[in-house]
Amino acid sequence: MQADYVTKLPMDMHTSEYYRTEIIPKLMKEMNISNSHRVPKLVKIVVNIGLGEALKDRKILDSMSEQLTRITGQKPLVTKAHRAIATFKLRAGMEIGLKVTLRGARMWDFLRKVITIILPRVRDFRGINPKAFDHRGNLNLGFSEISVFPEVAYEKLDKVRGFEVTIVTTATNDEEGHMFLKSLGMPFVETKK
């Protein structure tokens, strides 16, 4: 069952092609831009999982790496601590997380999956808060559990973990980023003016 806010992208058209043929002309008109190169573009999508408990158990990194590979279709990079924090018994260089940077076709496929499949599966989802932008046109989404993705092997999960998704655009401010992602079908909460 599909939620009514989900944009119905043409199934036979690749999302980047849809962007070039439909979205660019629409945004040029809405944003009053004469040059198509000034229209915001999608640069990359970064999926990040912080795994502080990996300090005690290395197997957590391996199992979550496998899960993240299933979700994104790309092997994640292990992230390391930059600074030592004595309170957490953390030394610089210790492995504490995983991240995947998606570009090109994988990026478009992942974005389409998030908009049409993942967000409708999130419990009590009402839309994305427009304040989730970082003042430079990039959108940050936090998911409280990885199990919203259908590719996850539930039997291999030892506990519920959250992760972050950052959608990086060429938009110069939040308003441009909001217009751009909304035109791609991202469901935002409508704010009253």
How confident is the model at residue 83, as a pLDDT?
A: 67
Cβ(67)–Cβ(152) below 8 Å:
yes
pLDDT single digits (tens) 50-66 = 876 766 677 777 888 88
Please list, in sequence order, all residues whose beta carbon lies within 8 angstroms of the beta carbon of residue 11, skipping any fewer than 6 positions away.
none
Query: Under DSSP, is residue 67 helix (H, G, I), strand (E, B) or coil?
Result: helix
Q: Could you give the domains of the chain?
A: 15-183 (3.30.1440.10)
User: CA Rg, the chain, in Å?
Assistant: 18
pLDDT of residue 158: 72
pLDDT (tens place) for every residue of the chain, 193 residues total: 344 444 444 444 456 777 888 888 888 888 888 888 888 899 999 999 887 676 667 777 788 888 888 888 899 988 777 566 666 665 676 667 889 999 988 898 899 888 888 888 888 888 888 888 888 889 999 888 887 887 877 767 777 778 899 999 998 888 888 888 888 888 888 766 5
Residue 64: its pLDDT value, please? 80
- Helical residues (DSSP H) of the chain, grouped into ranges: 15-18, 24-30, 59-72, 104-113, 119-121, 174-183
**H or E segment to which residue 141 belongs:** strand 139-143
pTM of the model: 0.81
- Confidence at residue 90, expressed as pLDDT on a 0 to 100 scale: 59
